[in-house]
Copies of this chain bind each other. A is one copy, B any other.
Amino acid sequence: MKILIINGPNLNLLGVREKNIYGDSSFEPFFKQMQKKYIDITLEYFQSNSEGKLIDKIQETGFSYDGIILNAGGYTHTSVAIRDAISAVTSPVVEVHISNIQTREEFRHTSLISPVCKGSIVGFGFNSYRLAIESFR
């Protein structure tokens, strides 16, 4: 089983950025921990701040991987193009968010990608990613 975790814009700053919202540890150690925990799954990781590159990556992997776990960051609320990429590919995509976006600014309450994802997991910190991996088992 091959699963790709994609993190969108500014999620390369986890552990540095707005710690009161996102916590104070960076994503890489957590990712390695997950790789160890789920040894039967080939877990890969990709991050980009560019909408276009996120789309490229979804297209590139979305016809062969068993699943994609996507935290589209700020693009969650504005990108029809990423939504279209998810619809275009055949791999199931699970949406995750670290924080509870419903308790934040109004414009974060709407996700353009939820309706084309298999499901959504929101608000469990880094655990959201773990539960997303679990969802593929």
State the A residues within 8 Å of B (CB): 8-10, 12-13, 16-18, 48-53, 55-56, 59, 73-85, 87-88, 100, 102-103, 107-112, 114-115, 117-124, 127-128, 130-131, 134-135
Residues of A contacting B: mostly: helix
Distance to closest chain B CB from A134 (angstroms): 5
A134 to B135, CA, bound (A): 10
Count the copies. Answer: 12
**In the bound complex, CA of A25 to CA of B75 (Å):** 30
Set of chain B residues within 8 Å of A8, measured between Cβ atoms: 81
Output the nearest chain B residue to A62 by Cβ-Cβ distance.
B13
Cα distance, A88 to B17, chains bound together (Å): 5
